[in-house]
Amino acid sequence: MSWTTRATAHIRQFPVSKTLQTLLILLTVAFTPNLVVAAAAPYHTTNFTIYAESAEVAKEVGDKAEYWRKELSQEWLGKEMQNWFRPCPIKVKVGRLGAGGVTTFSFDRGEVFGWNMQVQGTLERVLDSVLPHEITHTILACHFRRPLPRWADEGACTLIEHESEKSRQIKLLGEVLEQGDRIPLRQLFSMTEYPKDMHNVMKLYAEGYSVSDYLVQQGGPRKFLAFMELAHQENWDKALKTHYNIDNVESLEKYWTKWTVAGSPRLNDPEGTMVAENTQTPAVTAKPEPPIVRGQSPEQSAPAVAVRTTSTAKASRLDLMLPVLVREIEN
Ligand SMILES: [Zn+2]
């Protein structure tokens, strides 16, 4: 399949049960150019141009967008991305709306261009969930320069969302597993597009988030990207064996299921602390932001895991981890 000139829409899930097509139409309508004409003058940062209904919101979103772009590229790539040739326009709609966003861009001959981002929701959720989610899409697109499998793309982007958003995914996942209605991982991993019906879209998000969380908690963000790359070059089983020392997708499914049934407990404190724990509330924050812990060099994968739990908790936690990472701790 050719990836050239393929426009890609990345949708951050909305808490509504409509078809994806309807969702896209609603979004398009919601962000009509008329809104922009009536809005404040656009706010310009180095990499973004923000259109919002007030200058204050535009500035807050623009400054936060630059913050997330810098922090998340450090987190995922171990370095700050170069400035884009053209800024990414962000259209913002703030109010008592379901939190959501769409980012579109195109790939052509290994390049990514034509950014267009739309975000909406309460200002708090736009700043702490929708914006970092959508910006993670742009970072992954710049890194891989090709469309990613949807589960991993959406899963990785959801990792940075606020805990309240992630707990919605966990709740949905629990229901899906209880009903025996999951998308088997082998099938999930082969999906290059969103499913046609919204129920399956929601399952893709929930399972994609949970599997990404399970892997990133144990190996860190950069190992996850290396895993994705090898899966693209070879296949999922080879990539799992190489990076996580498990035989195949079905083995991963067994480990992951055991972990989810145990309530998806936190497994460690990898270098990706930030993507694992976004509990900050920038708009109304009273707490300091959580520390960002990184490896010493961009090439270094996660420094195993820091065990801070009691020995009893450690034993049960190890039981839920992938074998290769258990060995790293025990050594
Ligand atoms: Zn998304």
- By the CB criterion, residues less than 5 angstroms from ion ligand 1 are 10, 12, 154, 157
Q: Residue 61: pLDDT above 60?
A: yes
Strands (DSSP E) contained in 95-226 are: 100-108, 111-121
No. of helices (H) and no. of strands (E), the chain: 14, 6
Average pLDDT of the chain, as a whole number: 79
Range with lowest mean pLDDT among 14-18, 255-259, 269-273, 283-287: 283-287
Average the pLDDT over 108-136 and give the result. Answer: 93
Given a contact cutoff of 8 angstroms between Cβ atoms, the answer to whether 88 and 48 are in contact is yes
Domain boundaries, the chain: 1-147, 150-284+302-331
The predicted pLDDT at position 253 comes to: 97
Distance 308 CA to ligand 1 centre (A): 32
Q: What is the pLDDT of residues 6-36, one digit of tens each?
A: 345 555 554 433 334 444 434 433 444 433 4
pLDDT beyond 80 at 142 = yes
pTM here is 0.78
Ligand 1 centre to CA of 153 (Å) is: 7
| The predicted structure's pLDDT at residue 325 | 58
Alpha-carbon radius of gyration of the chain: 19
Show Cβ contacts of residue 17 under 8 Å, excluding neighbours closer than 6 positions: 198, 199
- Cα 11 to ligand 1 centre (Å): 4
> What is the rounded average pLDDT of the residues 91-120?
91
Mean pLDDT to the nearest integer, 107-121: 90
At residue 291, does pLDDT exceed 60? no
The Cα–Cα gap between 56 and 61 comes to 9
Kindly tell me if the per-residue pLDDT of 238 is higher than 90.
yes
pLDDT over 70 (residue 243): yes
295 or 229: which leads in pLDDT? 229
Give the DSSP H/E element, type plus range, for residue 85: none
Q: How far is the CA of 221 from the centre of ligand 1 (A)?
A: 17
Cβ pair 221, 328 in contact under 8 A:
no
pLDDT at 50 over 60: yes
Ligand 1 centroid – CA 154 distance (Å): 5
Write out pLDDT tens, residues 186-222: 999 999 889 999 999 999 999 999 999 999 999 999 9
**316 Cα to the center of ligand 1, angstroms:** 33
**Residue 91, pLDDT above cutoff 50:** yes
